[in-house]
Amino acid sequence: MIKVTIDGIELEVEEGTTIMNAARKIGGEVVPPAMCYYTSLKGSGGKCRACLVKVAQGSAKDPRPMPKLVASCCTNVQDGMVVLNSTSPEVLETRRGIVEFLLVNHPLDCPICDQAGECELQNFAFDHGLQKTRSEFHRREFDPIDIGPHIKLHMTRCILCYRCTMVADQLTEERVHGVLWRGEASEISTYIQKAVENDFSGNMIDVCPVGALTDRHFRFRNRVWFLNPMDAHRNCSKCSGKVVLWMRGEEVYRVTARKDQYDEVKEFICNECRWDHYDTKDWVVEGPRAVEKWSVITANKYSKETVELPEQLFSKLDNAKWDSFEGVT
């Protein structure tokens, strides 16, 4: 075990733990945001730079000069390391910059995006961003394309986190979509627009942090904040069968995998559970889902923190952000 201090909180972790995972052991404000890292996807992380933290002090072992900004999702802690996250103005300032960079090529039109309300970028921008954009330049646009009967890809919204390609590589038989070109021209594409069809392809939608990959059966049918998430399960031969039913009244609008407080799916579900069982009779409904992460959905929904939540929300709204609010939602 080695010792590390994050935002003044000391803890002991096993060697080989990343700063991100060490921080998640503490929880709360100490945890850096992540837009590309995904625990269950091998090789994820290191790309979005949202998780940068300041290493104020390294260890005797590491000769690199400190302090230094490092990506917490792909940097291991070292004995005696001192890390600053939310207590460092420099980190917060930098993070604001990362929001700006992410939005340089992302449309500012959450009101017409189907992901709004459960979008990691929207939440990230709200928590860490500015209220104004400094980029007056044209953002790149693509036409939405269908990749198969279930999934819609709208590249305009993609932040190139690569998570979907990893799902395709690691969960499905053969990858039929991937990254083409390079630099600012990079895009997620399919080879001659081939259908994505295999048992676990639907998970691409769940891992996508933004509205670039959406469920064709659900798109634009309802706002997520009007739906009630219910934990449910069924016996499934292909996956765990543990899902969330998104309901309005008696009707199941969509089925997704369960996400934890870091917006991550731990148990991926198969396409059959996702798209072939819209009837509550097919499911054992466990009850309302305790949504652990603060977001628009939790505002009038079930939460583990039902008592604290209104206050949290209040402080978010109270900080004069809204006075000069322009566009970035």
Q: How many CB atoms lie within 10 A of CB 113?
A: 23
Give the distance from CA 250 to its chain's centroid. Answer: 28
Cα–Cα distance for residue pair 262/15, rounded to 1 Å: 23
Largest CA distance in the chain: 61
In this structure, the strands spanning 228-233 and 242-248 are: antiparallel
Least distance between ligand FES and beta carbon 52 (Å): 7
Least distance between ligand SF4 and beta carbon 242 (Å): 22
**Token pair in block for residue 302:** 């079930």
Find tokens 């259908």 and name the residue.
Answer: 195
Least distance between other proteins and beta carbon 183 (Å): 4
Which of the listed partners (ligand SF4, other proteins, ligand FES, none) does 158 bind, with a CB threshold of 5 to 8 Å by partner kind? ligand SF4
Q: How many angstroms separate the Cα of 94 from the Cα of each of 39, 47, 128, 214? A: 24, 15, 10, 30
Site for other proteins contains 149 (CB under 8 A): no
Cα–Cα distance for residue pair 139/129, rounded to 1 Å: 18
In terms of CB distance, is 50 or 257 closer to ligand FES?
Answer: 50
Of 82, 196, 210, 265, the residue at the interface with ligand SF4 (CB under 6 A) is 210
In terms of CB distance, is 55 or 158 closer to ligand SF4?
Answer: 158
Site for ligand FES contains 45 (CB under 6 A): yes
3-state secondary structure of 226: helix
Long-range contacts of 287-293 (CB under 8 A, 24+ apart): 287/230, 287/231, 288/228, 288/229, 288/230, 288/231, 289/229, 289/230, 289/231, 289/244, 289/258, 291/229, 292/260, 292/261, 293/123, 293/259, 293/261, 293/262, 293/263
Of 56, 66, 108, 313, the residue at the interface with other proteins (CB under 8 A) is 108
Of 11, 25, 40, 47, the residue at the interface with ligand FES (CB under 6 A) is 47
Site for ligand FES in 3-42 (CB under 6 A): 34-37
Site for ligand SF4 contains 164 (CB under 6 A): yes
Least distance between other proteins and beta carbon 235 (Å): 32
Least distance between ligand FES and beta carbon 47 (Å): 5
Least distance between other proteins and beta carbon 321 (Å): 15
Site for other proteins contains 84 (CB under 8 A): no
279-294 in b/e burial notation, b at 16+ Cβ within 10 A? eeeebeeeeebebebb
In terms of CB distance, is 25 or 175 closer to other proteins?
Answer: 175
Site for ligand FES contains 68 (CB under 6 A): no
**Token pair in block for residue 189:** 């594409």
Find tokens 């390391």 and name the residue.
Answer: 81
Q: Which residues bind other proteins (CB under 8 A)?
A: 43, 45-50, 52, 69, 71, 74, 76, 94, 97-98, 101-102, 104-105, 107-109, 111-113, 132-137, 144, 154, 159-160, 162, 174-186, 189-192, 194, 219-220, 326-327
> By the criterion CB under 6 A, which residues form the site for ligand SF4?
158-164, 188, 207-210, 212-213
